[in-house]
Structure 1
């Protein structure tokens, strides 16, 4: 048998050996050449003959295996499409889907890009995976997901973006699935906060509050990052919540929680222990005023009584003279009417 007649049998042995075991030194005589084009990679199968350099019946160890995604067919002695999902442009040239693309069916003409919020980071993927919580992907055909930056979070899978932390909340690491409320005595005054800042003097914040609050009237706090305020002590007053209590003056009152000293009314009152009492001048004025008021009342009563007596005198007096025209009545001159006494 001449040299050329040995090729078919040798080639068959080469193919079968490749399929049976990858460690057998007789791989299949199949080479897939990839041609670069503007539309992508187009695989073109090339079957090596015995005349190919380095591959003949005496040197079968240099024969190449089927391309990834293809397998040997005993009937055609060629590499054919793999039965697993992937890209198959035409029989004899199967290619797995590249990263970021998938194909759930076999023998398809194209691979599909992963949707936004999904990714696949290996070739030949039958499906895309959702981005885990704390990450996002805003592009199609994603090979991976991007972790949320500090100050941002993504609480759900397959997110296309990360959301900023709200006021009073923070996230100090990447891949946050949720933001945390600032602890007691601290706050976050801006969105997307990476850390909390302590409450300023004169302010406080409980664990459940979002932002720091100003101390109530009569309370104070001179330290940073406090959970509560202190009431202004007795005999002191606190005009501002961020200053130390001020000692009360000697002539003033400062009960607990005072914002300003309380004084007795000048001239009329004076401080006596823990209360105010009437000043001597005030007592004298009250006495004089009371006397004047009493005298006025007495005079008023006397005047009313005098007016009442005058009215009674007029009622008891004789009838007054009444003029009449001159004339005679019954032959007698009668210039005046007779005056009658009595009631």
Structure 2
């Protein structure tokens, strides 16, 4: 009976040691410390050891926690990674995790992942618009204005391309500048309006110079204006215009020139030979006189050429007939008598 009393005292001391290790004792407390404390409570001189505890209840530390051999309730278990009570297992701190049971340490979260709670069995990926460039992160960093990331578990943010912008943090994508504005640099936080002489429709990313014959004198415009053909100067008079530069007002067309719609320079009639008459060019008096004189000279030249040709033809015909007119007949003979001899009568 006396031995049973000693065992009950030892069991009570073991339970008290467990409670004290969970409340006031540090992880470095050993079983000998518990024995020393219990020696004053019970008149026993037997030293308490791990063999005196019921180690059949030892279990592995759950995922998200780890065991420490310096902890009383872990050092008494026969196998590594096991503790008498789950409360003896140490939880992984923020930024670390442990997916397996019965491990002696925790693993740091990889870049692009984080853990913001203790005892995590896994790490979470950084959401879109944020990143984590270091291991063991307890949180993710939001992308700064002008940067973005559309992927999870990003390790960095990308600068907004040229022509796009982001004016807030945690951007998941950059926006195209509105019509009439552009972003000349990458990582832009805002857009700048197109300057005069340029324009940008909504579907384009950069401002474009106005086409030939168009102009724009205002900032931040979506389209350019066609250089007009007519401009009312007074209530009764209109003037043609031309656009010498896309970023200045149309210029009044000179009175002796033409400026159709979309003109970039005035058009003039050929000086001396033509002159402006309304909306067209007409022959000048000098040109008409020259045409008349030129026409008369040309006609006279043709007449002379025809007469000379006819005279040449007559000369050639006369030369062809000359041998026939001057042909000499040879003296003829008839029975030894010349053909031109006078007939002689024999008298009968």
Instruction: Tell me the TM-score range normalised by the shorter chain.
Output: 0.7 to 0.9
CA distance in 2, matches of 1:239, 1:277: 26
CA distance in 1, matches of 2:110, 2:55: 38
Quote the residue 1:250 is aligned against. 255
1:85 corresponds to 2:64: yes
1:32 corresponds to 2:32: no
Q: Measure how far apart 1:8 and its partner are.
A: 4.8
CA distance in 1, matches of 2:22, 2:245: 91
Aligned residue among 161, 180, 186 for 1:166:
161
SS in 2 for 1:276: strand
CA distance in 2, matches of 1:52, 1:305: 157
Query: Conserved in 2, the CA contact under 8 Å of 1:188 and 1:197?
Result: yes
- The alpha-carbon distance between structure 1 residues 88 and 9, as it changes in their structure 2 partners (threshold 3 A), is closer
Aligned residue among 164, 173, 180 for 1:178:
173
**Number of equivalences:** 290
Aligned residue among 303, 309, 313 for 1:304:
309
Quote the residue 1:282 is aligned against. 287
SS in 2 for 1:317: helix
CA distance in 1, matches of 2:223, 2:21: 80
Query: Conserved in 1, the CA contact under 8 Å of 2:63 and 2:98?
Result: no
- The alpha-carbon distance between structure 1 residues 77 and 89, as it changes in their structure 2 partners (threshold 3 A), is same
Cα deviation code 1:73-97 (max 9, x no counterpart): x835999764353122332553212
1:272 corresponds to 2:277: yes
- The alpha-carbon distance between structure 1 residues 137 and 27, as it changes in their structure 2 partners (threshold 3 A), is closer
Cα deviation code 1:110-151 (max 9, x no counterpart): 222212211112221100100100111122222221211111
- The alpha-carbon distance between structure 1 residues 113 and 28, as it changes in their structure 2 partners (threshold 3 A), is closer
Q: Measure how far apart 1:199 and its partner are.
A: 0.5
1:239 corresponds to 2:239: no
- TM score, norm. by length of structure 1: 0.75
CA distance in 1, matches of 2:29, 2:257: 105
Cα deviation code 1:235-256 (max 9, x no counterpart): 1000100000111111111111
Quote the residue 1:188 is aligned against. 183
Query: Conserved in 2, the CA contact under 8 Å of 1:89 and 1:108?
Result: no
CA distance in 1, matches of 2:124, 2:17: 36
Quote the residue 1:119 is aligned against. 114
Aligned residue among 213, 219, 224 for 1:224:
219
CA distance in 1, matches of 2:110, 2:296: 101
- The alpha-carbon distance between structure 1 residues 8 and 311, as it changes in their structure 2 partners (threshold 3 A), is same
Q: Which runs of 5+ in 2 are unaligned?
A: 1-5, 42-52, 76-87, 230-239, 328-348
CA distance in 1, matches of 2:22, 2:119: 22
Quote the residue 2:30 is aligned against. 46
SS in 2 for 1:160: coil
CA distance in 1, matches of 2:57, 2:16: 11
Q: Out of 116-125 and 305-314, give the one that drifted further.
A: 116-125
SS in 2 for 1:288: helix
Q: Measure how far apart 1:215 and its partner are.
A: 0.5
Query: Conserved in 2, the CA contact under 8 Å of 1:136 and 1:146?
Result: yes
CA distance in 2, matches of 1:248, 1:157: 63
- TM score, norm. by length of structure 2: 0.74
CA distance in 2, matches of 1:159, 1:115: 11
Which is strand-richer, 1 or 2?
Answer: 1
